[in-house]
Amino acid sequence: MNKSILSILGAALFAAVLSSCASIPEPSEKDNNLIYGQLEFNFSCIPNNYDIPEKSSEISGIEVKFRNIKTNKIITMTTNSKGEFYRTGIPEGTYIIYSFKKTIKYGAGRYEADYSAVFDKNKTTNFHFSPVEDTVINMGKISLEISIKDIGYYSWRVDWDKDFEKTKRYFSVLHSNSPWLDKEWITRHESLERHLTLFP
């Protein structure tokens, strides 16, 4: 009896490990571009009596939204347990980062709060990229910094365009057999240049 229970638990644990290491979909004729990056959430708060953590750093469960500047279509991704966000087969067009969001729990899990960074939708200097066939657009590592210096209010800052080589190495470690490693890896700036060449 005990042996069979242990076998069931072992099989369930093995399945959980496999699902936590789910692979990125392979490229296909339809889905022949990949957007890939890493995202981290760094939180700081003044000392307080509300059980709000004074410091926190997380990589999973961070929502990132992209917006097509022509169609206004929103594409939403959420970082996995490794801090990765990715999407294959994004339709042609130019996109900007529209927003980031992270929910944190405090007070022994009794409370939660959403912390967001939302960009001006009319801002033309925002983080642009454009999908290109048969490439991986390497977004590098992006950091969302949230700071509370007065309870009830917070400020945010985003740091991006960094660690492109480290991000690709990180991908190659986590997805060593992925066909995407055989594709051309380009930055978001290079994707825009390529897009303008193809669609002047």
Closest to 115 measured CA to CA, from 81, 154, 60, 74: 154
pLDDT of residue 108: 77
pLDDT score at 92: 87
What is the pLDDT, as a whole number, of residue 68? 92
pLDDT at site 29: 86
pLDDT at 200: 60
Report CA dihedral (132, 27, 138, 127) to the nearest 10 degrees: 50
Sign of CA dihedral 186, 188, 190, 193: positive
Nearest to 73 by CA among 94, 102, 101, 100: 94
Structure-block tokens of residue 126:
């925002």
Tally Cβ neighbours within 10 Å of residue 191.
24
pLDDT at 119: 86
Rounded CA-CA distance 93/71 in Å is: 9
Pull the structure tokens for residue 160.
């991006």
Q: What is the pLDDT of residue 12?
A: 39
Q: What is the mean pLDDT of each run of 10 residues along the chain (200 residues)?
A: 39 38 82 95 94 93 94 95 95 91 86 89 72 94 95 92 96 96 95 77
Alpha helices in 31-163 (DSSP H): none
Pair of tokens at residue 66: 């992209």
Structure tokens at 103: 């929910």
